[in-house]
Amino acid sequence: MPLPPNLLFQWLLRPDVAFLNHGSFGACPREVFEIQNQWRRRLEEEPVELIARRWPEMLEVVKAAIGQFLNMAPADFGLVTNATEGINAILRSLHFKPGDELLTTTHVYNAVRMAMRDAAERAGASYREIDIPLPLEDASSISAIITAGLSDRTRLLVVDHVTSPTALVFPIKAITSACAARGIDVLVDGAHAPGMLDLDVPATGATYYAGNLHKWCCAPRGSGFIWVRADRQAGIHPCVISHNYGKTMADEFQWQGTRDASAWLTIPAALEFMGRLGWEKVRAANHARAIWAQELLCGRWNVPPRTPLDGRLLGSMATILLPGKLANLTEDSARKLQSDLYHQHQIEVPFMHRGPVCHLRVSCQVYNVEEDYVRLAEAIEKTMRQ
C-alpha cells in the first residue's frame, strides 16, 4: 500500500516553504511535538519525583524502544544529544599516544573533523583524511579506497554510514571487516542512518556507533545515542562525568547531570508515529524520491550525476553539482544564495563544497512532493539567467 498523500499537514513546517533540508536538523511531527510538550509539563509538575526517583524506570522504557528498533541491547548503548556528542565521548575516552593515527575520509562531517583533530593534537598523534573523489560508481570502490588507505599506524578509523556533505551510503560492513582483519577499531558516524536505512547496529561490525534519532526518525532535536561493543565498554565515559562514574557504561550515560530530558522521553512516540506510516514504505518512498530528484535536477541543469542514476549509493538524499557559474560559488556566496532561495522563493536547501566546487543537497522525507523539487529546479535556472 502506498503512503497517504499530503502528509505535510502532520508536520509543523511552514506549508508555503519547499523544505528540502530534512537532513540538517530533522523536523518533528505535530503529534510528537505535542507529546514532548506533555513531558516538559510533567517534568515541571513533578521534577524531583520524575528526575530523582523515577528516572531509571522511565529511561528503561525509552531504551527498550530504541533497542528493539535498532537491535541494540540496552546495556550496550547510552543516550546523548546528537551523534557529534557521542563521537566526542568516544574520542575523549580513548587514550592515544604519539605515533598513533586517527583516520577518516574527505567526506567526514566537519564537526567530527574538528573533534578528531583536537583528540590527535592533545595526544601528539596524527590526523589524516583519505581522499574519495567524486563521481563514484559503486560501493566496492569506496571500500577499496579506504582499505588501501589504512596504515600500520592507524589506531582508529572514523567513517560515515551516510555522508553528510555528499549523501553517499558507505558499505560499512565491508569497511569494518577490512579493519578487523588489520586489528583497527572503527567508529561509525551514523548521524543519518537510523530511519533512513534498515539498520541493525551490532551487525554493522562497528566497534563504536553514534547515531541520531531526531533526523530520519523524526524525534525531537537532542535525541542521539552511542553504542559500544561489549569488549570496548570499559573506560568509555560520557562527556559529562557525574555521579555514576566508575559504574557500567550504561549507568554512566544514564545520568549526565540535569538536562532537559523531554526529547529522550519522546523518542518512543516518534518511533511509533513513523511506524504507523510503515518503516519499509517510508524508506522505499524516500529512496525512490531521491533517485527521481537526482535525475530531474541533473537533467534540468545538464550536469553529470555524482553517483549512479539508479540510486545504488543513495539513501534518502542526493547531492547535485550546481550548473555553470554557480559551481564556482565561494562559501560566502553559497550562504547568500541559500538565504535568497528561502526568502525569495520559499525554498530551504543546503549547499555543500567539494574542494572549490559547489553542490547542493536535497533531502526526501515523506512530506515532500514532486513540486518542491521542480520549484528548486526553476529557481536555480532563474538564478543562472540573472
Establish whether the linkage from the previous residue to 171 is cis, with ω within 30° of 0.
Answer: no
pLDDT given for residue 240 in this prediction:
94
State the DSSP code for 261.
-
Q: What is the mean pLDDT of residues 284-294?
A: 98
Say whether pLDDT at 313 is over 90: yes
pLDDT in tens, 246-256: 999 999 999 99
* Nearest Cα residue to 63 out of 289, 327, 250: 250
Calpha distance 200→204 (Å, rounded): 7
pLDDT in tens, 90-138: 999 999 999 999 999 999 999 999 999 999 999 999 999 999 999 999 9
Residue type, 145: I
The percentage of the chain sitting over the pLDDT mark of 70, rounded to a whole number, equals: 100
For residue 1, name the pLDDT band (cuts at 50, 70, 90): low
Calpha distance 225→228 (Å, rounded): 10
Q: What is the mean pLDDT of residues 331-351?
A: 98
Say whether pLDDT at 147 is over 80: yes
Whole-model pTM above 0.95? yes
For cell 520559499, name the residue: 346
Say whether pLDDT at 339 is over 90: yes
pLDDT given for residue 220 in this prediction:
98
Say whether pLDDT at 181 is over 80: yes
Alpha-carbon separation of residue 138 from 286, 308, 310, 384 (angstroms): 20, 8, 11, 32
The dihedral over CA atoms of 165, 171, 172, 173, expressed in degrees to the nearest 10, equals: 180
